[in-house]
A and B are shown apart, each in its own frame.
Chain A
């Protein structure tokens, strides 16, 4: 029994801020009638939690609660990203909350609690903590999807999401159980060590461990909506309100990626050869299926849902590179340790060089995925933000007809986000794709890079079709209303990140520097 350490409580400061405000909102639920005020409180809370997340990095000890929870650059990077997504979602949902007549305080409390779960998931270094965080997130997400109780499509979406989601949670839990059965621990470091021992001994436990790896990856792939666990996304996004769909597409996916990255790079790294293979397949199929199915969509939210499936695949590419580099590195180490006497000094030196190259590649790959998550969150929130601002005019593809003639500013903004989603320079989407493709090529997965580029062409068609409808068709509907200040400010932030994320790394590229957008303190995890 380690007892309870009060200092460990400080590590939870960003989460505590969010939970505290959620509780205050619940207590005051019946007395808080102003949607603008509650949204303001939520944005301030999100910013405070983001600042706290960076501040906590300065703590001496970064591991708490019997090594179940860690605070490192990787987790805090994602926490800042999640709080940013929370703030933007809140701004986008001001009008949605008023118009749909949902309970104001409860809606924001659910957003805050969902973000708390995401933060816990990105800090988790124990499978049970991770499960706790992911469950908190998904339970809140189910309610958020169906929060407009009088709309039958929202109810349908929530039920579908709930059924598939609880099934995925069960798979994940089964994976945890099997992992525990083989390694006798749920702690990432412990799993890493035990799995290494299992692999060296080649005991029958390895087969069970591989089944556990498959189940864990299935559960996590559901959270990032990657093929073949993507089926819920189009229905859930379409049925949910546009701000909720934006939140699911941005924040939820980022948190899933954070969890997936740490599980693959720390806990399961003894099986990295297999993990890399599975991730490569999942990423390839997500990109392919997401792009192909997006082509025939006419509902904008469904279109963006399929595009988000493809983007999940792209974001995974960095982790594919990282895991396969770590697997190669481990193989080199093994060769060095077994062939110690037989190897000459030159061969040893060459191996050591290859080792450090592989380590660099692993960290670059993870950084590329983190960059992708960061830039993707803002460009997705921006695109959904335009849909939110347009209201009924943003539901279907045909509604965009002649938008450029009616509201040139809005059309230009939408074009910026669409170009970014398509990955055309000098927008953030190009930087993001360039990073993951570069790391995938360097790790030797040529076919994956070729496939990703080919599918980029397909998705470019999808996004540019919207642009064609906006710019080259005659308007048929009334001029949409101007965007409210809340939507405008959220879109300004998203557009700023989309532009900065495209221009500055492009300049770095000219100087030959790897274009990642991850701050120096946010080092990817690894053993």
Chain B
């Protein structure tokens, strides 16, 4: 029974090695040229320390929410891919319908100018 979990353990181990080695390699081999901005904590373009009430461009929020929306929907593609052969052509058609409905949402966002960076 525990055999099934060896693979999971191995992938955790590998993921840990990769993450740790990247940090170590970057800090030992990397070129260092610090500026004030580069030394700040990275917060996707926001100032990491600011009082609430400061201005925030709404376009960041809009892009992020659209990304989360479509990203979460696309999670359904992975389980579908696993059982793709069992489902056959009808499964393909069904996923086509699903993606079609998703594309209507995408088209709606595009059509209404949500993707314009203005």
Chain A CB within 8 A of B13 CB: no
**Chain A 1-30 interface mask (CB, 8 Å, partner B; 1/0):** 101101000000000000000010011011
**Chain B 76-118 interface mask (CB, 8 Å, partner A; 1/0):** 0000000000110011001000000100110110011000000
| Contact between chains at A4 and B107 (CB < 8 Å) | no
| Contact between chains at A26 and B105 (CB < 8 Å) | yes
Near B by CB (< 8 A), chain A positions 375-404 give none
Most buried by A among B87, B94, B108: B108
| Contact between chains at A4 and B90 (CB < 8 Å) | yes
Q: Chain A residues near B112 (CB, 8 Å)?
A: 29-30
| Contact between chains at B87 and A27 (CB < 8 Å) | no
Q: Chain A residues near B94 (CB, 8 Å)?
A: 4
Q: Chain B residues near A30 (CB, 8 Å)?
A: 111-112
| Contact between chains at A26 and B108 (CB < 8 Å) | yes
Partner of A1, one of B86, B107, B108, B111: B86
Q: Chain B residues near A26 (CB, 8 Å)?
A: 104-105, 108
CA distance A440 to B90 in the complex (A): 50
| Contact between chains at B104 and A27 (CB < 8 Å) | yes
CA distance A27 to B112 in the complex (A): 10
CA distance A6 to B89 in the complex (A): 12
Minimum Cβ distance to chain B for residue A140 (Å): 14
Minimum Cβ distance to chain A for residue B61 (Å): 15
CA distance A23 to B103 in the complex (A): 10
CA distance A4 to B98 in the complex (A): 15
| Contact between chains at A23 and B111 (CB < 8 Å) | no
Minimum Cβ distance to chain B for residue A147 (Å): 15
Q: Chain B residues near A6 (CB, 8 Å)?
A: 90
| Contact between chains at A23 and B101 (CB < 8 Å) | yes
Please name the residue on chain B nearest to A30 by beta carbon: B111
Please name the residue on chain A nearest to B100 by beta carbon: A23
CA distance A4 to B92 in the complex (A): 12
Partner of B87, one of A4, A23, A29: A4
| Contact between chains at A27 and B90 (CB < 8 Å) | no
Minimum Cβ distance to chain B for residue A110 (Å): 13
Q: Chain B residues near A29 (CB, 8 Å)?
A: 108, 111-112
CA distance A388 to B91 in the complex (A): 47
Size class of the contact patch on chain B: 10 to 19
Minimum Cβ distance to chain B for residue A438 (Å): 47
CA distance A1 to B83 in the complex (A): 11
Please name the residue on chain A nearest to B105 by beta carbon: A26
Minimum Cβ distance to chain A for residue B89 (Å): 10
Minimum Cβ distance to chain A for residue B95 (Å): 11
CA distance A30 to B86 in the complex (A): 41
Please name the residue on chain A nearest to B108 by beta carbon: A26
Please name the residue on chain B nearest to A103 by beta carbon: B112
CA distance A1 to B107 in the complex (A): 34
CA distance A176 to B113 in the complex (A): 40
CA distance A29 to B114 in the complex (A): 14
Contacts A30-B111, A30-B112: A23 and B90 contacting too (C-beta < 8 A)?
A: no
Near B by CB (< 8 A), chain A positions 399-450 give none
CA distance A6 to B90 in the complex (A): 9
Minimum Cβ distance to chain B for residue A32 (Å): 12
CA distance A396 to B108 in the complex (A): 39
Please name the residue on chain B nearest to A23 by beta carbon: B104
Q: Chain A residues near B91 (CB, 8 Å)?
A: 4
Near B by CB (< 8 A), chain A positions 15-56 give 23, 26-27, 29-30
CA distance A3 to B86 in the complex (A): 9
Minimum Cβ distance to chain A for residue B92 (Å): 11
Near A by CB (< 8 A), chain B positions 26-49 give none
Q: Chain B residues near A4 (CB, 8 Å)?
A: 87, 90-91, 94
Minimum Cβ distance to chain B for residue A414 (Å): 40
Q: Chain A residues near B111 (CB, 8 Å)?
A: 27, 29-30
CA distance A214 to B85 in the complex (A): 43
Please name the residue on chain B nearest to A5 by beta carbon: B90
CA distance A105 to B91 in the complex (A): 31
CA distance A23 to B105 in the complex (A): 9
Q: Chain B residues near A3 (CB, 8 Å)?
A: 90
CA distance A390 to B105 in the complex (A): 37
| Contact between chains at A27 and B86 (CB < 8 Å) | no
Q: Chain A residues near B86 (CB, 8 Å)?
A: 1
Minimum Cβ distance to chain B for residue A8 (Å): 12
Minimum Cβ distance to chain A for residue B108 (Å): 5
Please name the residue on chain B nearest to A109 by beta carbon: B108
CA distance A430 to B55 in the complex (A): 58
Q: Chain A residues near B108 (CB, 8 Å)?
A: 26-27, 29
CA distance A446 to B104 in the complex (A): 55
CA distance A336 to B113 in the complex (A): 70
CA distance A27 to B100 in the complex (A): 12
Q: Chain B residues near A1 (CB, 8 Å)?
A: 86
Q: Chain A residues near B107 (CB, 8 Å)?
A: 27
Minimum Cβ distance to chain A for residue B111 (Å): 6
Q: Chain A residues near B87 (CB, 8 Å)?
A: 4
CA distance A23 to B108 in the complex (A): 10
CA distance A3 to B112 in the complex (A): 39
CA distance A23 to B99 in the complex (A): 13
The 4 closest A-B pairs by CB, nearest first: A26-B108, A23-B104, A4-B90, A30-B111
What are 5 pairs between A and B in contact, CB < 8 Å? A23-B101, A23-B104, A27-B104, A27-B107, A29-B108
Spell out A's residues near B (CB within 8 Å): 1, 3-4, 6, 23, 26-27, 29-30
A-B contact sample (8 more), CB < 8 A, given A23-B104, A29-B112: A3-B90, A4-B90, A4-B91, A26-B105, A26-B108, A27-B104, A27-B111, A30-B112
